[in-house]
Amino acid sequence: MTHSKVQVGSGAQQSDMPEDVFAAISKLAHDEAGLMIPASKHALVQSRISRRLRALGMTDFNAYLRLVHSDAGGGERRNMISALTTNVSAFFREGHHFETLSGMATSLIERARSGEKVRIWSAGCSSGQEPFSIAMTLLEADGRAGAHDIRILATDIDPAVLDVARKGFFDESQMAGVSHPLREQYFIASSGGRFGATDVLRRMISFRELNLLGHWPMKGRFHAIFCRNVVIYFDESTQAALWPRFRRALLDNGLLFVGHSERVPNPGAVGFRPAGVTTFTAVATTSEETPGGPARTHDT
């Protein structure tokens, strides 16, 4: 098979990505991060991996493939997954979830006042709009929510997008879902038309890199988990393995929020029951344990 040449800068030329390289990269992305990449995404994968080649000063896809498969290629494998990951986020996206959270906020804050640790997990937090929306929802219920032991764990597999989230700055287009009163209360306008999250928001959130397919180091359980528009990129077997893990990560009666295109099939079999639009409650068990281990309070 012959391949046409495309310019990659500085006079260097790069061949189109061979089918076998595409297949190998797709398999590695699946094995490392559960990403499901159909053959129809060949052009997209080629474009994104081409950027990595340019960054490394490489011109050959086969050489890149050898690198990411090598023992020394761990760092580049992370960069590859980052390049292949789709990051789309917005403030208060799927607003019915935040209405549900607002409805339970008073109870959560009362628990924190009584000395309980309240923990919420934003799994697949992308550039940070979701965890910041969670924090604003809790603070709108009680302006002193951040003074109690209420914390939001925000995780993502992509270290680049996590760096953006930690900085907490958003441009005008990204702020579209934030009302003017909330902007005034929780953001500080900066030069260049950007808005920075205030310290009261930042203090409630911990950002961590985490691969959902790997080990979850969190020791305790959560009152709510947001994992929205994430598992849609996984194949059915990977999704099926995640639902019981999420159940084990939730306290009894905790809530799991999933994306508008996602469902937990046969939720009763994995310890959930439907509780609203793309919302599931962790079914309480008759003992102090949920399937898979004892319930504990949480440190994040």
Q: Pull the structure tokens for residue 135.
A: 């924090």
Share of the chain residues as helix, strand and coil, in percent rounded to the nearest 5: 45, 20, 35
Q: Pull the structure tokens for residue 83.
A: 């390049």
In sequence order, which residues have a C-beta less than 8 Å from that of residue 259 and are 6 or more positions away? 94, 228, 229, 230, 231, 232, 278
3 state SS of 27: helix
Of 78, 119, 151, 156, the active-site residue reads 156
Per the annotation, the verdict on 171 as an active-site residue is no
Q: Pull the structure tokens for residue 9.
A: 């800068």
Per the annotation, the verdict on 163 as an active-site residue is no
Q: Cα–Cα distance between 54 and 79 in angstroms, integer?
A: 13
CA quadruple 273, 275, 280, 286: dihedral positive or negative? negative
Of 48, 111, 113, 245, the active-site residue reads 48
Contact 135, 103 (CB under 8 A): no
By annotation, the residues acting in catalysis are 48, 156
